[in-house]
Amino acid sequence: MRVGVILLWLLLPAIAVAWHLGPGVDGRAGDRAAAAAREADRLRADDPAAAVDAFDEALSHMPATAGDAALRLRLERAKTRIDASQLAEASRELDALVDELAATPGADPALVADAHDALATSDFYVTWLKRLEGLPRDEWEPHAESARQTWRLLAEEAERRGDAAAAARHGVNLEAVIRLARLDPDQLQGLPIPSQCRGCQGGKCRSCKGKSRIRSQPRPVGDARGAGGGAPVDESGS
């Protein structure tokens, strides 16, 4: 018995080192990732570019076993890139994320739907900007069509599962991208780009203040969830 106790005592430093290099690392890394994610959530309304950096830091600390948590952070970073006018980067990230989720058995259906919704929002803004630049139809129409098909499918799926609020939201977005594709170029030039801010939900953050409110412009709308469930698109049009 005494020999066993002595051996255990001698092994304690080795056990501590093993924990420090193994589960302890994941635990501390997870804490750092969570802290950075909270900071990103705090920053995203007023300083989305800084929030993107905070999401980068959070992801750099995510343990390899994080699974859906890491995918959710990547999605929120991509959404925040849209808010930060990093549309090209957001589109690339969302394309990759949607493909990865499609190839992941048992992926969270809510996460999959949220990623497709975000990609459609990105396509909406790409369509708007390409049309403002006067690019030919074959340059912007694929983005408009992608957003249209995505929001139509999301609306149909929401109806099948009995989620009337989500079905209505996706239906409004579907109508918005259809109107955008049909707008005369001269009409489009007279409208401000819809707010890409999805953090304040009321035109109160610095990126929204001072912008005119035009109810008739096509714009994507978001849901009522907070950042933890996917940042909503500003419905005010501000």
Residue 73 in any domain: the answer is yes
CA distance 184 to 210: 26
Quick one: 9 exposed, middle or buried, by C-beta within 10 A (0-12, 13-18, 19+)?
exposed
Asked if residue 123 has pLDDT above 90, the reply is yes
Residue 168 in any domain: the answer is yes
Residue 12 in any domain: the answer is no
pLDDT digits (tens, 9 = 90+) for 23-77: 444 567 678 888 989 999 999 889 999 999 999 999 998 887 778 888 999 999 9
Q: What is the pTM of this model?
A: 0.73
The pLDDT of residue 27:
62
The type of residue at 142 is P
Domain that holds residue 52: 25-229
pLDDT digits (tens, 9 = 90+) for 201-223: 334 444 444 333 323 456 566 64
Tokens representing 95 are 């394309």
Asked if residue 46 lies in contact with residue 233, where contact means CB atoms within 8 angstroms, the answer is no
Q: In which residue are the tokens 């930060």 written?
A: 84
Residue 197 in any domain: the answer is yes
The pLDDT of residue 7:
41
CA distance 59 to 69: 10
CA distance 215 to 236: 8
Asked if residue 75 lies in contact with residue 110, where contact means CB atoms within 8 angstroms, the answer is no
Q: Into how many domains does the chain fold? A: 1
